Amino acid sequence: MLAASVTFGLAAPSQAQLGGILNRIPSPTAPATTTDGCPKGKSRSKGSTIAGSILGSLAGDAATRAGVNYGFVPIEGLTDQLTAAIACKLDPEEQKQAAQATLDATRGEGETAEVAVGSSASWTSQTREDVSGTSTVVGRNDHEGTGLQCITVTDVIIVKGEETKADKRMCRRPPAARYALIA
């Protein structure tokens, strides 16, 4: 009887043995970016997703125990200054430094607080080696009819020798002194 139940258990389809766990894994999709704007990889089969999930979990646990922070999420309070494509590659302290560089580069001078094209500010990470960035005002496009003042700012970051560049459109309506990211 025991042999029959063991044989029966082994003969059952994998779905029955695993209690339908395979059906709970979502079908892979491949949007160009994740919700935080970081690039997303290619879609995978369910088997590959399961194996990757298990291996990723083990690697993540080991990295966490070793004190490694390997995933960054944009800090909510800085989303008016940083694009997700830049923020997702920076740790929280670096995000603050990059946001401050944007504020410095977009801070105007004089009573009208005009921002000059070419104005720039740089930063170097205080938490990781080989991480730095620059924010540079590369264009101006004021809207006379609405009173909206807009600029284009290019952020460049270098993380371990890999350069990431992102343009962002920032606007303000005087008398506001600060420019904010426009989606």
Q: What is the pTM of this model?
A: 0.61
Rounded Cα gap, residues 13 and 17, in angstroms: 6
In a domain, 7, yes or no: no
The number of folded domains in the chain is: 1
* Residue 129 token pair: 């080696």
Residue 177 binned pLDDT confidence (cut-offs 50, 70, 90): confident
**Residues 30, 54: Cα–Cα separation, whole Å:** 20
The β-bridge relationship of strands 149-159 and 131-140 is antiparallel
Q: What is the pLDDT of residues 121-159, one digit of tens each?
A: 999 999 999 999 999 999 999 887 888 999 999 999 999
24-73 pLDDT per residue, tens: 444 444 445 554 456 554 444 556 556 555 555 555 555 445 444 445 55
pLDDT, position 171: 92
Helices (H), strands (E): how many in the chain?
A: 6, 5
Q: Could you tell me the residue range of the domain that residue 146 belongs to?
A: 76-181
pLDDT at 36: 44
Q: Is residue 11 part of a domain?
A: no
54 part of a folded domain: no
Domain presence at residue 147: yes
